[in-house]
Structure 1
């Protein structure tokens, strides 16, 4: 199995990009293709490659920054919230060099469906995106960068992946990256049957799609009470023998429940469980950033 160590540095650069096209790939997902003059300098590491995307405020034609140098974050935080670009974290779904483009899949969370204004700023923007729309991204300039978390260590015998539709682009990238013959067990939670996507891989992957029921699918988001079907499905599953490497992402509460199950009930070494909360019920990314800045973010589960 291919393994990689974390890099010592994480060089990222700002890129001005524009919407090339928008494709509704399912009820819950729209795929936006971005182009730009300097995208030959963008170097995705594949797998779960994340980057920062900056949206303009509704009254702006493009994001407005006071500083895009080394002090960008401090300057960004100091901007008037009514003028400050809206920052979100996303995964590069696919990058192409001829032409120079990359795709990002946006989970809509109901935005743009039957006139529903729901979802957050990014979901609403994606639902209404048209060619020519201008954004800014902070993306990697080298392939081996700190925005890639999926790094199975030597001695890994098989891979375990779980996530919801927000993690689907990363799961797709991971499966495409895995070496031929690698054994993988995958559980993916989606809101609708048509949210299933082809997931090409050379790995020996057993993929289970878990569709939320209609009531939960309609309310899945900030006010949803259920952790969804992934924890229950995982508890009922028979896992392979050998040493696993687990990558779990999606809603923070679900991620925490899955990690606890793997570490406490399955006895998997916590160091072999990479977990990321892509979103949290009842919190926007602005809330999470404010918590981190103030030092009040909830402590991670150490068990």
Structure 2
């Protein structure tokens, strides 16, 4: 869903501050946010792949307020924000909620940032902000107001796209930008769910630990030191898991399988082609999300082209998730 389409009665702006910063691996940094406003942030039940937007300040400049003093947003809030001038406008980037918990005095929200070296001449304000973040830094979190969610509210309107529709077998596949979402999903799966989860990360040092009560087989795929190109290991692993290798024609579709795929746009396109055209998966019973695009700043289809474009081997700071 594009930012302009987010329903204003469900999505609001929450003032928050950094409570803690922790490096998980060389490429993953966890930032914990808190504040009184987060008391009503969230959704009923598990957060799954809940996406939020962070309004981040331009270094050295305070953010202009977004919405009403209480954080309510109108239907055209994104266009209104675009019309603002820098430096007060700041930057909006999309991320996945890694964890949301109640603590003494309120609630805390964890967001895992992917930190990459940035190619010369290319700005990455979100990655740079995360790399320099310290406790007390102020941000605005744009996400669901739990008290505004009713029985008629669509999950997609809150920022959740995970919808297995009763499937007992799942296929989860994503690059490093999808690791937080896949990890969150796995942690809430029940024991009677089976399948595969493939998580591609830059290096073996980025391999993490995910616990799940389910029977899903979790496989970490490290591009280094294997020397693999981006998306290569994901494609190979999905083909092998579904027995597609060497079978150009469609195989018998599995109506009980639900696929959730999120990664760089080119990787997602390739995986979608395999899963829909070859494996016979119903695209209406699966989720394919371009979390970012090589050569663009920002999130997925909402990214803006970089000028000059990066080389295919460049590692760019990018964001996690998008509405």
Aligned match of 1:228: 232
Matched, 1:110 2:117: yes
Aligned length: 271
How many angstroms does 1:194 deviate by?
2.1
Q: Is the 8 A contact 2:194 2:216 kept in 1?
A: yes
Q: Return the alpha-carbon distance in structure 2 between the equivalents of residues 235 and 158 of structure 1.
A: 16
Q: Give the superposition deviation at 1:216.
A: 6.1
The question of whether the paired residues in 1 share the 8 Å contact of 2:291 and 2:300 is answered with no
Look up the match of 2:162: 150
**2:77 match:** 72
What's the secondary structure of 1:236's corresponding residue?
Answer: helix
Runs (4 or more) in structure 1 with deviation over 6 Å come to: 116-119
Describe the shift of the 1:119–1:214 C-alpha distance in structure 2 as closer, same or farther (beyond 3 A).
farther
**Per the alignment, in what secondary structure is the counterpart of residue 186 of structure 2?**
helix
Q: CA deviation at 1:63?
A: 2.1
SS at match of 2:241: coil
Distance in 2 (alpha carbons) for counterparts of 1:161 and 1:170: 10
**Is contact 2:58-2:87 (8 Å) kept?**
yes
**Separation in structure 2 between the aligned mates of residue 194 and residue 10 of structure 1, nearest angstrom:** 42
| 8 A Cα contact 2:94 2:299, kept in partner | no
| 1:278 and 2:294 aligned | no
Aligned to 1:206, what secondary structure does the other structure show?
Answer: strand
**1:263 equivalent in structure 2:** 276
TM-score by length of 1: 0.81
Secondary structure of residue in 2 paired with 1:173: helix
- Secondary structure of the residue that 1:181 maps to in structure 2? coil
Kindly indicate whether residue 10 of structure 2 is the aligned counterpart of residue 18 of structure 1: no
Cα pair distance change 1:216/1:277, threshold 3 Å: farther
Tell me whether 1:36 sits opposite 2:35 in the alignment.
yes
Q: Residue 164 of structure 1 corresponds to which residue in structure 2?
A: 175
Shift of 1:38: 1.7
Aligned to 2:101: 96
Shifted more, 94-103 versus 239-248: the winner is 239-248
Deviation at 1:162, TM superposition (A): 0.2
Q: 1:171 deviation in Å?
A: 0.4
1:185/1:81 CA distance change after superposition, 3 Å: same
Q: 5+ residue gaps in structure 2?
A: 1-6, 244-252, 305-323
State the SS of the aligned residue for 2:49: coil
Counterpart of 1:294?
none
CA root-mean-square deviation: 2.7
* Corresponding residue of 2:133: 129
CA distance 1:267–1:287, shift in 2 (3 Å): closer
TM-score normalized with structure 2 length = 0.77
1:168 deviates by: 0.7
User: Structure 1 unaligned runs (5+)?
Assistant: 1-7, 218-224, 292-303
